[in-house]
Amino acid sequence: MELSITEILKYFFLGIITSIPQLVIAILCIYYIIKVGSKTDGILLTTGSIISLLCGISNTVGTTYISTLGADTYLTYIYVIQGFSFLGSILFVIGFFLLIKKTIKYFVQS
């Protein structure tokens, strides 16, 4: 099944538009690292958000191309991307938990 240039552009822009919230989160995490420094929570937040951003874009954009190669290749691609996305989400959650723990500790001591 060949995709027309219109369909390819549609999926490309759809992937970029749906990744805007993830891009904003990645930018905010980078800003947090710049302001606070390289702490464990900031590194985990930033790494997780960047992995999730890349997986989100490649999931939408890459799937358009990979789907033309057959079902087995498509499923393998999806499994790999979802695995990396899961890893990114876990890293982000751990970093977010550490940040909340640090913030609560700071406000309890104040």
Tens digits of per-residue pLDDT, 29-86?
999 999 988 899 999 999 999 999 999 888 877 777 787 788 888 888 889 999 999 9
Distances (CA, A) of 90 to 3, 83, 94: 35, 11, 6
Spell out the domain ranges in the chain. Answer: 5-109
Q: Which residue has the tokens 């970093």?
A: 95
